[in-house]
């Protein structure tokens, strides 16, 4: 009954896993497991045996440890004259001797001795847990996975313990030999402990882990890719570019590396190189949604607006729930997520006179300048008059990703620019339910409320914006304009001066301060 229950539980787990995979085998690329894609059955078998040998060696001597063994980490054996062919022969010789020792009776009768049963159990611990990684029943998506050696290592440790016990028994007559054996065991345990400590240190951070992989597998393109990605995330663009280029030299079809390298080159202004890389990435992998979106961003930067729109739509056809792509489709900008707060512009216009304040001019100026800056003067939907298309694109972005701050900001400014102040306020309030501490939303909502004449609420949101980003001079400048129109001249003066402390060259803040002094001059 117990065995039946265990078997049923195992079958249920297998069925659950198969259901989670959609009752279909995963699709792997040649880079994931190069040996599995060799056409010759004999050559494929030889490479599999070599991989088994390496796995066994890693259990005995875990000197070469790498987080990823794919993409050229282990060169294939293509010729029978390759000296590495001898390694599998030695491996099977040792394995065969262990099996023979376990099955061959050492005395009359058919019963196995205790040592033989231990060897059998140890071999079972080594072989059975490793079978899923053996490529015998199905192709796996890795070359060597060190996690697959956790359970087999129990069998290996048991064999070592059995061997040590047999050696102690053989040296029972010599106290010196027994001391030597205990010394060797202590040394081995000490070395394994030091290796464990060293390896644990390498897992402390991604950077250390990836660099450790480079020492073991310098020909692995994925190792260089991960080092580059970590370097890019930490702001070291030069190192990132160097390793992305190395990854592409090792694997010229590495579309992920092309995509990421293109993004770095785009940010440095090398648009033609980025464009070429992204075109190659989409040709190599036509269903690469991120590459299509990034291609659209670069095309928009190059002024290829129709092509950019087509690329964005290609990305959305591949990934319907893609908020960043909806955002970029909305403004066709050369910068991803570039819709941030605009520098303060004279809220009352260049022809300001005391008592003739005009909030609509200020908010319209903010919106137009903001949109121009965000697009980089590149004919997006707004510039082409397709405001409704931009609205729905940004609405889709916020629906799919409610924390997409720049999409909310664009919506607020678009509605404000169209004169729909109530709609802009409602959008701002909705955005703050998802992003209550976002300074940009508070800032732009404060602008809209100021345009409506709701000075009290406008002040509230400007102060919240300043609280969350106290180093933004335009926040103080616009707060000063609000106080200026509210005739709170002392507060306006302090706000303008604070803006000028943060940015001494802030022209509009200086001009508004000069106008304020003319108003309050006796």
pLDDT attached to residue 323: 83
CA nearest to 29, candidates 209, 221, 206, 215: 221
Is residue 69 domain-resident?
yes
Note whether residue 214 is domain-resident.
no
* 501 class by beta-carbon count within 10 Å (0-12 exposed, 13-18 middle, 19+ buried): exposed
Residue-level pLDDT at 401: 85
Q: Can you state the angle between helices 489-502 and 507-520, rounded to 10 degrees?
A: 150
0.75 exceeded by the pTM?
A: no
Residue ranges making up the domain that contains 138: 26-172
Residue pair 144/74 in contact by the 8 Å Cβ criterion? yes
Residue 497 within any structural domain of the chain: no
Domain count, the chain: 1
Tokens found for residue 311: 């690329």
Answer yes or no: are the C-beta atoms of 301 and 328 closer than 8 Å. Answer: no
Sorted by sequence, the CB contacts under 8 Å of residue 510 that are 6+ apart come out as 496, 500
Low-confidence spans in the chain with pLDDT less than 50: 333-379, 383-385
Within a domain: 59: yes
Count of CA atoms in the C-beta half-sphere (13 A) of 166:
11
d(CA 345, CA 472): 14
Per DSSP, the chain holds a count of helices (H) and strands (E) of: 23, 0
What pLDDT is stored for residue 22 in this prediction?
66
Q: Residue 451: which H helix or E strand, with range?
A: helix 439-452
Positive or negative torsion for Cα 385, 387, 393, 394? positive
Assigned domain for 68 exists: yes
Contact 330, 394 (CB under 8 A): yes
Round to whole Å and give the CA distance between 428 and 439: 12
SS3 letters for 403-421? Answer: CCHHHHHHHHHHHHHCCCH
Q: What is the DSSP string of 218-263?
A: TT-HHHHHHHHHHHHHTT-HHHHHHHHHHHHHH-TT-HHHHHHHHH
Rounded alpha-carbon distances, angstroms, from residue 192 to 63, 156, 187, 512: 10, 14, 9, 72
d(CA 32, CA 253): 13
The reply to whether 91 falls in a domain is yes
Contact between 262 and 274 under an 8 Å Cβ cutoff? The reply is: yes
CA dist., res. 210 & res. 145, Å (int): 15
Q: What is the pLDDT of residues 75-98, one digit of tens each?
A: 888 888 889 989 999 989 988 888
- Find where tokens 């690469």 sit: 288
**Residues 2, 124: Cα–Cα separation, whole Å:** 20
Q: Hey, is 20 helix, strand or coil?
A: helix
Whether 215 maps to a domain, the answer reads no
The DSSP result for 274-321, as a single string, is HHHHHHHHHHH-TT-HHHHHHHHHHHHHTT-HHHHHHHHHHHHHH-SS
Instruction: Count other Cβ atoms within 10 Å, centred on residue 14.
Output: 10
Query: Cα-atom radius of gyration of the chain, to the nearest Å?
Result: 34
Is residue 356 one of the residues assigned to a domain?
A: no
List the structure tokens of 202.
Answer: 């390498």
**Beta-carbon count within 10 A of 223 CB:** 31
CB 301, CB 336: distance < 8 Å: no
């Amino acid at each position: 009954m117990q065995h039946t229950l265990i078997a049923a539980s195992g079958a249920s787990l297998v069925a659950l896993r198969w259901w989670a995979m959609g009752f279909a085998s995963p699709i792997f690329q040649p880079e994931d497991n190069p040996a599995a894609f060799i056409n010759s059955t004999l050559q494929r078998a030889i490479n599999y045996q070599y991989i088994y040998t390496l796995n066994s060696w890693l259990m005995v001597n875990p000197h070469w440890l790498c987080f990823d063994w794919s993409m050229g980490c282990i060169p294939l054996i293509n010729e029978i004259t390759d000296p590495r062919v001898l390694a599998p022969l030695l491996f099977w010789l040792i394995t065969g001797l262990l099996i023979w020792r376990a099955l061959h009776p050492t005395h009359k009768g058919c019963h196995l001795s205790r040592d033989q049963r231990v060897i059998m159990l140890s071999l079972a611990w080594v072989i059975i847990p490793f079978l899923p990684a053996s490529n015998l029943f199905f192709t796996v998506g890795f070359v060597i996975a060190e996690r697959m050696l956790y359970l087999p290592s129990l069998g290996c440790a048991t064999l070592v313990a059995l061997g040590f016990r047999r050696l102690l028994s053989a040296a029972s007559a010599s106290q010196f030999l027994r001391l030597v054996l205990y010394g060797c065991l202590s040394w081995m345990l000490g070395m394994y402990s030091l290796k464990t400590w060293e390896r644990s240190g390498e897992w402390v951070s991604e950077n250390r882990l990836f660099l450790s992989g480079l020492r073991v597998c310098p020909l692995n393109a994925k190792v260089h890719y991960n080092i580059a990605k970590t370097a890019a995330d930490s702001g070291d663009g030069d190192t990132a570019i160097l390793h992305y280029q190395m990854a592409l030299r090792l694997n010229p079809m590495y579309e992920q590396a092309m995509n990421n390298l293109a993004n770095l080159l785009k940010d440095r202004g090398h648009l033609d190189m980025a464009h070429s890389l992204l075109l190659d990435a989409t040709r190599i992998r036509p269903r690469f949604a991120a590459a299509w979106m990034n291609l659209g961003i670069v095309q928009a930067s190059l002024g290829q607006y129709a092509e950019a729109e087509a690329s964005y739509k290609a990305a959305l056809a591949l990934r319907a729930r893609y908020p960043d792509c909806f955002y970029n489709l909305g403004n066709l900008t050369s910068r991803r997520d570039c819709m941030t707060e605009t520098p303060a512009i004279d809220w009352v216009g260049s022809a300001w006179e005391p008592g003739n304040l005009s909030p609509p001019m200020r908010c319209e100026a903010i919106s137009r300048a903001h949109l121009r800056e965000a697009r980089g003067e590149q004919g997006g939907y707004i510039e082409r008059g397709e405001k409704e298309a931009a609205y729905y694109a940004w609405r889709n972005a916020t629906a799919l990703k409610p924390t997409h701050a720049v999409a909310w900001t664009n919506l607020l400014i678009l509605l404000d620019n169209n004169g729909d102040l109530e709609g802009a306020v409602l959008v701002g309030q909705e955005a703050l339910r998802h992003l209550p501490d976002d300074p940009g939303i508070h800032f732009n909502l404060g602008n809209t409320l100021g345009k409506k004449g709701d000075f009290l609420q406008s002040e509230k949101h400007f102060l919240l914006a300043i609280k969350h980003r106290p180093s933004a001079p335009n926040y103080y400048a616009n707060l000063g304009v609000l106080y200026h129109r509210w005739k709170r001249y002392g507060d306006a003066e302090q706000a303008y001066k604070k803006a000028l402390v943060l940015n001494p060259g802030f022209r509009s803040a200086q001009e508004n301060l000069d106008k304020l002094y003319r108003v309050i001059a006796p």
